[in-house]
């Protein structure tokens, strides 16, 4: 199990009501599940999470299964909601 930071950007930050929060998890799937449990009454954040892409320690997760994305001690998960405009 690793400890680190989840950083929220744009609509995710607004929905979470915070810039960041800590995680304690071994995989991205575990970290996101903990966020969903902690914020279970926040439908807006849950919907944003479902549409977001993620960076783990500055690398795009892409289409990899979140259960296979290992988290490092002191790492950072960035939640990037879809951006509009150009």
- The residues spanned by each domain of the chain are 2-80
pLDDT at 84: 58
For 8, other C-beta atoms within 10 Å of its C-beta total 25
CATH superfamily of the 2-80 domain:
Beta-grasp domain (3.10.20.30)
Q: Give the tens place of pLDDT for each residue, 27-65.
A: 999 999 999 999 999 999 999 999 999 999 999 999 999
Going by C-alpha positions, the residue among 5, 28, 10, 6 that lies closest to residue 80 is 10
Q: What does the alpha-carbon distance between residue 70 and residue 25 come to, in Å, rounded to a whole number?
A: 9
Instruction: pLDDT band for 69, please (50, 70, 90 cuts).
Output: very high
16: left (phi over 0), alpha (psi -120 to 50) or beta: alpha
């Amino acid at each position: 199990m690793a400890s680190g930071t989840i950083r929220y950007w744009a609509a995710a930050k607004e929905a979470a009501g915070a810039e960041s929060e800590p995680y304690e998890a071994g995989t991205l799937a575990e970290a996101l599940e903990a966020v969903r449990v902690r914020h279970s009454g926040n439908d807006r954040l849950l919907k944003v999470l479902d549409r977001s892409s993620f960076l783990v320690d500055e690398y795009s997760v892409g289409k990899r299964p979140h259960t296979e994305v290992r988290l490092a001690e002191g790492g950072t998960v960035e939640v990037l909601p879809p951006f509009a405009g150009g």
